[in-house]
Amino acid sequence: MHSDAANLQLSSHLTTLASIHKIHHTLHRLHLTEDVGQDSLPSACCSRAMPPRKKRRPSAGDDMSAKKSRQDSVFRKHETPQIREEETFSSKRCLEWFYEYAGEKCCDDVVGPEGMEKLCEDIGVEPENVVMLVLAWKLDAQSMGYFTLQEWLRGMGSLQCDSTERLRNSLDYLRSVLNDSTSFKLIYRYAFDFAREKDQRSLDLNTAKCMLGLLLGKTWPLFPVFNQFLEQSKYKVINKDQWCNVLEFSRTINLDLSNYDEDGAWPVLLDEFVEWYKERQMS
């Protein structure tokens, strides 16, 4: 009797095990379950005799989490170099970018007026925009309307720009440089040598008025009348001492000129401007 009961219990277990195996095989064939080794089957069988457990969230030690972690690790391993390559400045990309504007016909490795015009168009600014002067200062360009290969690579490298998009995204930064008084003074002084003819020590008057308008036109309330003074004056050129003193004048002298010292070390140009302006006010 005891032997028959044991055989019956064994037969029942074998039937249950066969049924579980068949169900698992069917689900696997339909891709509805993960491939599980034979070692897991007895535990499924034994679980019938145990009270059901409350479901818990997989922990970091579970096979699925570990597998996903390994997959994520492999994914990051392949993706990280690509992300870094896009974020990091590339001298090679910068060089290729330069020749988009220098052109194949340019044997001197220079971006000239035509290339400069195209660059301005691509970044969405006018060639006369003050931001282009700031860019030239950053590149330490020596001639207006031209960027050499060496200037380009050095300057764009300092800006971490190796594409048109990156330069376009840097325009707000370049404009903000003008808000720093020390940087503005350096740019102002740089503009004189940048804009003058290289065989001349002075800046012709028309160019000087354009550059002064670019740099001081929006920040110095007296610029419009000073510009009128220059137009009717005898001056044909502006030398560097006069140029630098105009900036100092705009920063330190009151709008009513009340603190201007005629016996100070101001150039004659500014003495004449003050006299002309006061006579104009009186009349």
For residue 41, pLDDT over 90 is answered with no
Pick the CATH number of 181-282 from 1.10.238.200, 1.10.10.10, 2.40.10.120, 3.30.70.20: 1.10.238.200
Q: How far is it, in rounded angstroms, from Cα 266 to Cα 204?
A: 20
- Residue 235 scores a pLDDT above 60: yes
- Dihedral pair phi/psi, residue 238, rounded to 5°: -120, 125
CATH topology match: 91-177 vs 181-282: yes
Whether 235 contacts 262, CB under 8 Å:
no
> What pLDDT band is residue 25 in, cutting at 50, 70 and 90?
very low
Q: Which residue has the higher pLDDT, 5 or 204?
A: 204
**pLDDT higher than threshold 80 for residue 120:** yes
- The C-alpha atoms of residue 151 and residue 134 are separated, in whole angstroms, by 14
Contact 151, 139 (CB under 8 A): yes
φ/ψ of 89, rounded to 5, equals: -60, 135
Mean of the pLDDT values across residues 260-278?
Answer: 95
Contact 191, 211 (CB under 8 A): yes
Largest Cα–Cα distance of the chain, in whole Å? Answer: 136
Q: Residue 198 has what pLDDT?
A: 87
The CATH class, in words, for 91-177 is mainly alpha
Query: What is the spatial distance between Cα 42 and Cα 80, in angstroms, rounded to a whole number?
Result: 43
Cα angle for residues 213, 143, 97 (degrees, 5° grid)? 105
Instruction: Give tens-digit pLDDT for 57-109.
Output: 555 445 555 544 555 544 444 443 443 445 799 999 999 999 999 976 545 68
* Beta-bridge partner residues of 63: none
163 vs 39, residue with greater confidence: 163
| DSSP, res 74 | H
Asked whether the predicted pLDDT for residue 150 surpasses 70, the reply is yes
Q: What is the pLDDT of residues 165-188, one digit of tens each?
A: 999 999 999 999 999 999 999 999
Domain boundaries, the chain: 91-177, 181-282
The C-alpha R_g of the chain, in whole angstroms, comes to 39
- What pLDDT, on a 0 to 100 scale, did the predictor assign at position 33? 40
What's the rounded Cα separation, in Å, for the pair 280 and 274? 10
Say whether 193 sits in a helix, a strand or coil.
helix
**Whose CA is closest to 172, among 209, 134, 199?**
134
User: Would you state the pLDDT for residue 107?
Assistant: 57
What span, in angstroms and rounded, lies between the C-alpha atoms of 3 and 6? Answer: 5
pLDDT at residue 82, as a whole number? 42
Q: Region 225-251: what's the mean pLDDT?
A: 97
> What value does the mean pLDDT of the chain take?
80
DSSP assignment of 205-239 equals HHHHHHHHHHHHTTT-TTHHHHHHHHHHSS-SEE-
